[in-house]
Amino acid sequence: MAGFMQNSSSAATALMLAALLASGGTGMAGSLGGPLELQDEGSFFVNGELTHSSHPGTSVGGVAQPGTITVKQMYVQYRIPKSVSRPAIVMVHGSGHTGATYETTPDGREGWATYFVRKGFPVYVIDHSGRGRSGFDRRCGRNTRRARAARSGCRAAPPHCPRRGRG
């Protein structure tokens, strides 16, 4: 019985692999069709300020020494279609998201950014300061109520912390 189950599993795997190869792998992510023709594509940062950080950063070779970091900058990714026929669109994420939410759908299809570029709109997708590709200021949070409570030795959430001098 075990041999039958193993052979059935192998056959099913081989069948799925053959179907994927026969489709050319196009079933993985949908496209509106054809290659995306661009005049320009890239990214840049807006504003930002240099500041000292005592926290180690990251670098290509691993952990970097503490030093100067750039904070409060906004990351912008842009795509300019080969034939611009519409006004530019700036896509601004909300809530706890990043600009990457406009790149693809959860099931792998093209997202709104690519959709509008294909329709002739130059598209600029941003990541707010402190989110996604804009980078994160590791110094933030040091002066929050929760951090101050932790430094004072209180383990409960800040609203439940006893005040100093009270038992």
Residue 108: closest CA among 29, 33, 165: 29
User: What pLDDT digit, counting tens, does each position of 97-156 carry?
Assistant: 899 999 988 888 899 999 999 999 999 999 988 888 887 776 665 556 666 666 565 554
Domains and CATH numbers, the chain: 33-151 (3.40.50.1820)
Q: Which two tokens stand for residue 103?
A: 């790149």
pTM beyond 0.75, yes or no:
no
In 65-155, which ranges are E strands?
Answer: 67-81, 89-91, 123-127
